[in-house]
Structure 1
Amino acid sequence: MKSQRGQALVETALLLPILLILLFGITDLGRVFHAYLTLDHAGREAARVAAIGADDAEIIDKIELATGSLNEDKLTHTISPQGKSNRPSGSEVTITLNYSIELLTPLISHLSGPIELENKTVMRVE
């Protein structure tokens, strides 16, 4: 019986790294999913504002308001066509949002690098 005293410690030492990687992976998945849903919501909100005739500054304000939980330095947006006068009634407006998210999981983040998310929303101008 004396030879089995450290068995629990050895088993814990072997399983702990696997459990930590799994925990960090679940956290990363949640962060990526949150960013994806936020981009989707912001794209729809911005496209709706553009579709009712807002100018580019109002559209950008709506994007910034809807993406408040994301890092603004990693967020880029494109409005096509630019300028309120270039969006006549019946045409389409496209809002494209790109976001780069860094992973927290130690091994996976070194292998894959940041994840690039893109959301493109198209609406008809009223």
Structure 2
Amino acid sequence: MTEARDNYLNDLTATRRGYAINRLCASLTDPDNRRRFTADEAAYCDAHGLSPEQKRAILDRDWTGMLDLGASIFYTFKLAVLDGKSMQHLGGVFTGMSAEEFTAALRAGGRRFG
């Protein structure tokens, strides 16, 4: 798994780099696509033209790795939901906390910057 970072820049370069991951994740809003993905995740990744690195990140559920490869949290969350993961779970992954710690930090007012 990739280590958490402080931030991710979602600029045009990242958007282009992550297009295939984002397109795959967006497709999971359709029940038929969710069934196809669940039946054979690797084949579904191949059908969406993912690079080997992107495919590995999806199959391993390397959430931070997906962002490193240009994915958007808004799209990767669709995959997380399919796995029964909450936004708090992902927030914890991205900040190096547990879901419970992340939720407690939000309730305490969130992160404070500089």
TM over 0.5, shorter chain: no
Q: TM-score with structure 2 length normalisation?
A: 0.35
Structure whose residues are more often strand by fraction: 1
Q: TM-score with structure 1 length normalisation?
A: 0.32
Higher gyration radius (CA): 1
Structure whose residues are more often helix by fraction: 2
Higher relative contact order (CA 8 A, sep 6+): 2
